[in-house]
Structure 1
Amino acid sequence: MTTGAAGAAGAARTAPDAPDGGPKTVIAAERARIDALDARIIALVRDRMEVSEAIQRVRIESGGRRVHLAREMEILDHYSRELGGAGRDLAMTLLRLCRGH
């Protein structure tokens, strides 16, 4: 019995042709969905970067630090709870992107 992504990939390769064109058509359609999701994710990350920059600017102008470490820990914990260890890695990447240059 196959499980996970490898099992799904194997199933896609051996699935009988569907009336709409078969596995290649299904794969192409699903890849198009992934591309659309990636475009949305990138747009959301850019929005997040802009919001983070605005917060940092206000914090600095009011005498605070650019980075609020306690807040970053909350974000890391949230992503970790929702997505596991890889979620924490994703949060770290987002935080690096949003810390300003």
Structure 2
Amino acid sequence: MSITPTTAPASTGPTAATATAPTAPTARGTDPADVIADARTRIDALDDRILGLVQERMAVSAVIQQTRISAGGRRVNLSREMEVLSRYRDALGRPGTSLAMTILELSRGRV
């Protein structure tokens, strides 16, 4: 089974968050209602991308789990999960751990 990404590759690391940092008000003007509407539209687009990336991650995780099980291994690799938790915590603080736990939970047992 091969996985074909459905979205452009995401950048990773500390600079990834700054790559899409908020910008100055758009050409619509500086009316607060316009600024908020534009920002909400952007958030909706970002959420769509995040959801797509989580779904892609789940699919890739399923491939890994199925391959590991087929080779006689365990479905879950706890040391790998600890690495993921640490990476999210380092990047986002304590809430990052909760986010990583949710993502790991979504990615387990889908084989």
Q: What TM-score, normalized by structure 2, do the two folds share?
A: 0.72
Q: Which residue of 2 aligns with 1:25?
A: 34
Give the Cα–Cα distance (whole angstroms) in 2 for the partners of residues 96 and 31 of structure 1: 28
Unaligned 5+ segments in structure 2 are: 1-27
1:66 lines up with 2:78 in the alignment: no
1:46 lines up with 2:55 in the alignment: yes
Q: CA RMSD in A?
A: 1.2
Query: Any runs of at least 4 consecutive aligned residues in structure 1 with deviations exceeding 3 A, and if so which?
Result: none
| Other structure's SS at 1:34 match | helix
| Other structure's SS at 2:74 match | coil
Counterpart code for 2:51? I
Q: Which residue of 2 aligns with 1:77?
A: 86
Q: Would you tell me which structure has more helix in proportion to its own residues?
A: 1
Q: Which residue of 2 aligns with 1:37?
A: 46
Counterpart code for 1:63? G
Counterpart code for 2:96? G
Length, aligned pairs only: 83
| Other structure's SS at 2:29 match | coil
Give the Cα–Cα distance (whole angstroms) in 1 for the partners of residues 109 and 34 of structure 2: 42
Q: Percent identity?
A: 55
Larger Rg: 1
| Other structure's SS at 2:102 match | helix
* Larger RCO (alpha carbons 8 Å, 6+ apart): 2
Unaligned 5+ segments in structure 1 are: 1-18
Following superposition, the deviation at residue 20 of structure 1 comes to 2.2
Following superposition, the deviation at residue 45 of structure 1 comes to 0.2
